[in-house]
Structure 1
């Protein structure tokens, strides 16, 4: 039934959208998708991706990697597989496996366009940041910000600005404080108060 498929896709995306606000709720939503007999391969992949990212928020990296690898394996389309690879790369980097992370995100990029490509650019920037390849990381963050502004993706812009601002602040490069201030304002406007506080903290004490 088309209606059932549309509902499953919407529920899987709702799980993804809930990850940062409430990771435990995101897991519960995604588990309902996985339990549904009507869910297709892309819906199941998206649900596993949501669980993986939520477990990363809860500091369960082995669990996160397990679900994200399954998300890559079960994806039904190239785009969904690439999105899962992007998230897998991010968590691999968190686990200290930066070479594998860079391969995963770089392999995903050719399959992605628009805001998807912007998120992948940001994730690759994070991996390059972890590997100490700072100039390349700043370039990828910049590409992500450009795409986010073009597509009106405020959350992507805030995340990329926070990452670029933190890197430039640590390097003493001009523009870091402005990026962090703008990221905090956008996070606050989106109701992501914890992320806003983190961006303000990254910017250091107010002067």
Structure 2
């Protein structure tokens, strides 16, 4: 398994390539903009794209999807339906993602020989998910290094994001955390230093 990232779009969203180098295939996670750069990174990896996974439906995570679909006809794009439903009323924040397929809690997908598990982690948006592959967590805007996603957008909920953070914090082991913005971290580091995660785990008062 190889994970690479590039910052894309208007506010530097982390787009990740999850690659099975043995089987020469990869998934693109959160292509929020700069489709040409994303496609060039995929080509440079030597892997063929097999899927696009969206951690949630906000524009800064979905902005390059349409152009990538045009470059890679037939590639499946996955987005939780709770965010897809929001797009009809809030097109600026949740732009439509034509042809997106629903995925939800407990769904699994193969990326070559890798297995990606979907964990529902709402709070930043209703349809937020975390993708787990081995010891890697792609958390979108649920969990950041030292912080968490904002909850004041439509569909956000502080109670929901605290429940999601609690769920992530109670996972076994010390997986790497690949957030939607800023630098990667580890779950142990966040258990120790992140005030929102600590509050969710009842390690300190809110």
Query: Shared fold by TM > 0.5?
Result: no
TM-score (normalizing by structure 2)? 0.37
State which structure, 1 or 2, has the greater radius of gyration over its C-alpha atoms: 1
Normalized per residue, which structure has more strand? 2
TM-score (normalizing by structure 1)? 0.37
- The structure whose RCO (Cα within 8 Å, separation 6+) is larger is 2
